[in-house]
Structure 1
Amino acid sequence: MPHHAPSLMQTDPCTDPEETAADWLLKTLPEQAHARILSLWQRKLTAMLPLGEGLSAVRIPSAPLRTLTGQPETPSAAIDEYLARALEGGPVICDPASLHYYVIIPSGLPAAWHRAAAAWRELGIIYQGDGSWVGVPGPARDALDPDTYSLYWAVPVADPPAPCDPSLMARLGADLYRAVTHREPPR
């Protein structure tokens, strides 16, 4: 897997340069759960993490990504590389079994997204925030395992860790909408 460019969001002064990807992801859980989650990740298992407190996700089915990129199959290294470029290294989880990608963004749906996010639902693209959970592989799982088809980081968490810039996700959503519907997305 190629090294991915760091996210523009990493210059955020709230990001601790000493924080590891695991520390960053564990912030969504009470401290007493940290050892259990770390144990799951050490055994190469997936942990369920709550969204809404610090992080949200945008679930993207693979079909719109295949249409946009011209890739016949998912998951694929070509789609992972496309997402790394389009999202400037913002973290993305791939669930090869369900053929979905999860772009990790900061909590809260930006007000400017409300109309666009409603249109994205037409493509199966769903914003997941407060009250939702997402399966998260350990930070070291950064490639498809063809034997297990387990979740992996299509775009690994950068160092220092930071969510994807929401404006880059909005641009990707608009590109996906145009590619599939051949119409301009609502603004």
Structure 2
Amino acid sequence: MEWQEQSLAMLPLGTLFAAVRLPVALVGAAAFLRGTPDLAQVDAFLDEVLDGGPVICDPQGRRCYALVPASMPESYKQAAEDWRPLGVEILGRGTYLGVPPVHLVEFDKEACVSYWSVPMQSPAMLCTPLNVARLIAAALQRLPVGGEL
């Protein structure tokens, strides 16, 4: 019903899956994209580096959400603290994520709602935490001194 009324369903995180919030600018840095990254380029890059793991894009907030195992907030606790200044946050228990309907798989300038940047292949297929960490590490290497986005 939420998908019909609001184009998003609010799902609780921390039981079946968690999410890593990534600024689009950070993903663009990892992909060597200059300036404001084009969302289609960001989508293709995420699909490749996260091996087809599901990602939701919020174009209005210029953020992506990589869906990861529910254990990641605990197992990557120290890394999460290190990533926080970059605008990266691992979201788990006590957090809800706006999830678009499965048919929204590309950016629609008119609607400007969240969409599946990388569609979910099956319910059990999530992004590998190590691949997400490698993406963040690659972006860190390419950011200017001080790590500012």
Distance in structure 2 (CA, Å) of the matches to 1:182 and 1:125: 18
Q: Flag structure 1 segments of 5+ consecutive residues without an equivalent.
A: 1-38
Q: After the TM superposition, which of the residue ranges 47-56 and 115-124 deviates more from structure 2?
A: 115-124
Count of equivalent residues: 145
Local SS of the residue matching 1:141:
coil
Kindly indicate whether the alpha-carbon contact (under 8 Å) linking 2:73 and 2:91 is maintained by their aligned counterparts in 1: no
Match of 1:175 among 138, 141, 146: 138
| Pair 65,125 (structure 1): closer, same or farther in 2 beyond 3 Å | same
The 5 Å alignment of 1:14-29 reads none
Cα shift at 1:117: 1.8
Local SS of the residue matching 1:72:
coil
Q: Flag structure 2 segments of 5+ consecutive residues without an equivalent.
A: none
TM-score by length of 2: 0.86
Local SS of the residue matching 2:76:
helix
Kindly indicate whether the alpha-carbon contact (under 8 Å) linking 1:71 and 1:78 is maintained by their aligned counterparts in 2: no
Q: Which residue of 2 aligns with 1:114?
A: 77
Match of 1:47 among 9, 15, 24: 9
Identical aligned residues as a percent: 35
Larger radius of gyration: 1
Match of 2:20 among 58, 61, 82: 58
The 5 Å alignment of 1:1-187 reads 39-42=1-4, 45-69=7-31, 70-74=33-37, 76-109=39-72, 113-159=76-122, 161-180=124-143
Local SS of the residue matching 1:102:
strand
Letter paired with 1:99? R
Kindly indicate whether the alpha-carbon contact (under 8 Å) linking 1:57 and 1:102 is maintained by their aligned counterparts in 2: yes
Q: Which runs of 4+ in 1 moved over 6 A?
A: none
Local SS of the residue matching 2:71:
coil
Local SS of the residue matching 1:145:
coil
Cα shift at 1:116: 2.1
Letter paired with 2:136? G
How big is the alpha-carbon RMSD for the aligned residues of Structure 1 and Structure 2?
2.1
Distance in structure 1 (CA, Å) of the matches to 2:72 and 2:124: 20
